[in-house]
Amino acid sequence: MMSEKEVLNQSKSAYNQWAEVWRSHAIENGKKYRADGNSQRDLLHQGVGKTLLCVATSPSIEKQVDVIKKYRDEVDILCVDKSYKFLMDNGIKPDYVILCDAKVNYEEWCKPYIDDTEDVILFMNVTGNTDWSMNWKGKVIYFVNKDNIQSEVEFSQLSGCQELIPAGSNVGNSVVLFSTQVLGYDRYLLAGYDYCWSDDTNYYSGGDTVKRYWMKHLNQFDRNGRVVYTSQNLFFSVRWLGDYNKNLAMRGIKVYDCSLHGMLNMPWRDLETMLKLYKRRKLTLQEKQQIAQSRLKSIVTRDENQLKEALGTTEPVEVIVNYLPEDVKQWLDTA
């Protein structure tokens, strides 16, 4: 179990290193957030009845590409920023991509396939690299990380975005946080969540040959008893997610580690077996009603002539109308 002091020190260290860049990005992303008007609310419970495959960048994902291709139509896919190009290189287009970091390279990891993002949703930290959000052709859904040093107060004010998720220490953990809190799938399968590498693999999937050397901070054992290497941040992150998953399990949220290798302290399952077992199911009437209620939007009308006629008064009145957006109706009809 991680100590409160350890988590606090991690948050302070990251803030001290990145605060100036984060502020600049929050201001720029805030302009797009206000202009687009998109909200996490637009996707609440989007995953009910389905399985989500969460893809991170660890090296073992390279050995599971064929399985993912084979069952691509059976699941939705949410990948971390650097996995977007890797998946596209292998003919797999994700449904969602998440980006958290201020410096993740746009030219290397996104630009080669930026024209294919029109129907892919980007989940974007307001402090993340603006090159991604400003060039992304599909919908961008913003969020602010809530941490134990209350940096969310500053970045919410700068960006205007009040939609928070807990800070997860790395982008792979943020995939689990965002999807379990907003999207609401029946279950979540993790692939590429190794948090470590070995002598015969790279730090990232897709061919990194440098970072594996200068990020080699610790020697550890993975769940199969192999000696592996990890960084300080990866070691912190794998323990953080293991602790967080205990809370998810108590709430009945099903998250399974399906990575071929790794150090996660959570239930492990074979990826292909899980993809065979869990296909999309029909939503119950109660589920549809709950989703419709959660997706209601409000508009305010102030047409004085109509109100005078209807209400028999000369006083201007604001009327709030709750309605279900047409795209949500269509989605529910086919769910």
127-150: burial string, b at 16+ Cβ within 10 Å, e else? bbbbbbbeebeebbbbbbbbbeee
Q: Do 98 and 244 share a domain, yes or no?
A: yes
Round to whole Å and give the CA distance between 25 and 103: 10
Q: Do 275 and 306 share a domain, yes or no?
A: no
Q: Do 107 and 223 share a domain, yes or no?
A: yes
Q: What's the token pair of residue 152? A: 């969310």
State the pLDDT at residue 263: 93
Q: Do 10 and 124 share a domain, yes or no?
A: yes
Last residue of a domain, one of 281, 308, 325: 281
Q: What is the mean pLDDT of residues 181-208?
A: 85
Domains identified in the chain, total number: 2
Q: Do 277 and 294 share a domain, yes or no?
A: no
State the pLDDT at residue 87: 97
State the pLDDT at residue 12: 74
Last residue of a domain, one of 245, 260, 281: 281
Could you tell me what percent of the chain has a pLDDT over 70?
A: 87
Q: Do 38 and 185 share a domain, yes or no?
A: yes
Q: Write down how long the chain is.
A: 335
Inter-residue contact 40 to 143 (CB < 8 Å): yes
Q: Do 263 and 317 share a domain, yes or no?
A: no
Domain that holds residue 329: 289-334
Q: Do 138 and 104 share a domain, yes or no?
A: yes
Last residue of a domain, one of 281, 305, 322: 281
| List of residues 6+ apart from 90 with CB closer than 8 A | 65, 69
Q: Do 316 and 260 share a domain, yes or no?
A: no
Q: Do 49 and 189 share a domain, yes or no?
A: yes
Q: At 50, is the pLDDT very low, low, confident or very high (cuts 50, 70, 90)? A: very high
* pTM confidence score: 0.88
Q: Do 222 and 269 share a domain, yes or no?
A: yes
Q: Do 293 and 221 share a domain, yes or no?
A: no
Q: Is the pLDDT of residue 308 over 90?
A: no
Tens-digit pLDDT profile for residues 72-130:
999 999 999 999 999 999 999 999 999 999 999 999 999 999 999 999 999 999 999 99
Q: DSSP 3-state assignment of 35?
A: helix
